[in-house]
Amino acid sequence: MAYQESQPLKDLFVDGAIGRLEARYSEAASAVGLTAVLCHPHPQFGGTMNDQVLGALETALLASGISSLRFNFRGVGRSEGKYSDGVGEIDDVVAVTTWVREKSVGERIILVGYSFGGAVALSAQALLVPECMILAAPAVGMFGQQDSPTVPSLVVLAENDQFVSADSTKDWFDAPNTRVEQIADTDHFFLGHHDQVTKIVREFLKTTFID
């Protein structure tokens, strides 16, 4: 699918369980009835919706006709509230996903998460029943016991990740519905490899929703 520019970004606020959540919605130029909800890295270590890895993931989504909603977890940026150990953050994902579904009835949801955001997405999947999941360096086990994806999923790992073990994480995602891709010679931040992340995600989306 040829890349087409998305519509102008729309900054907005979504009502969450404990206050307003700052968000940014981008509608794909050739929308295909899918919207991705993007979950950012750990709030206590500088994670925000403006993360560059999320940007690489979003590029692939928009180029594939999939609209996106980035948002800041509670206590980050202009989002109200404070950090809630990953528990309240699940409520945040539910709130923004509900906003998407109310905005576009029948819209299918893709849950996308990077690092801490990947762990939150995994914890929220049972509540939201997404169409699929895309996880980059997900911090599996950060919140205790979690279930593996129940829908088609892509997991992108970094060979030299200093925070998330690529080997043990790869072993954890052993379900046949999950595709695991490992990028060599890069760390948790995928520095110098954002284009490769985008390429892997675009190929997965093409296989999952087009072929």
pLDDT tens profile 150-190: 999 999 999 999 999 999 999 999 999 999 999 999 999 99
131 vs 108: CA distance, rounded Å: 6
> Are 30 and 65 spatial neighbours (Cβ–Cβ below 8 Å)?
yes
> Are 114 and 40 spatial neighbours (Cβ–Cβ below 8 Å)?
yes
Binning pLDDT at 50, 70 and 90, where does residue 31 land?
Answer: confident
Binning pLDDT at 50, 70 and 90, where does residue 142 land?
Answer: confident
In a 13 Å sphere around the CA of 178, the CA atoms on its Cβ side amount to 20
- Beta-bridged to residue 133, according to DSSP, are 111, 153
Q: What pLDDT is stored for residue 210 in this prediction?
A: 62
Q: What pLDDT is stored for residue 2 in this prediction?
A: 35
- Name the percent of the chain lying above pLDDT 70: 95
Span 100-122, average pLDDT:
95
6 vs 81: CA distance, rounded Å: 31
Residue with tokens 């052993």: 174
70 vs 38: CA distance, rounded Å: 5
Q: What are phi and psi of 144, to 5 degrees?
A: 90, -150
Binning pLDDT at 50, 70 and 90, where does residue 139 land?
Answer: very high
Token code pair at residue 50:
């403006």
Q: Where are the beta strands (DSSP E) in 65-143?
A: 67-71, 108-114, 132-136
Q: What pLDDT is stored for residue 30 in this prediction?
A: 82
Strand ranges across the sheet with 132-136: 10-15, 20-26, 67-71, 34-39, 108-114, 132-136, 153-158, 178-183
143 pLDDT higher than 90: no
CATH class as words, domain 10-209 = alpha beta
124 vs 131: CA distance, rounded Å: 13
In Å, how far are 74, 110, 112, 124 from 17, measured between CA atoms?
10, 21, 21, 15
Average pLDDT, the chain: 93
Report the predicted TM-score, pTM, of the whole model to 2 decimal places: 0.94
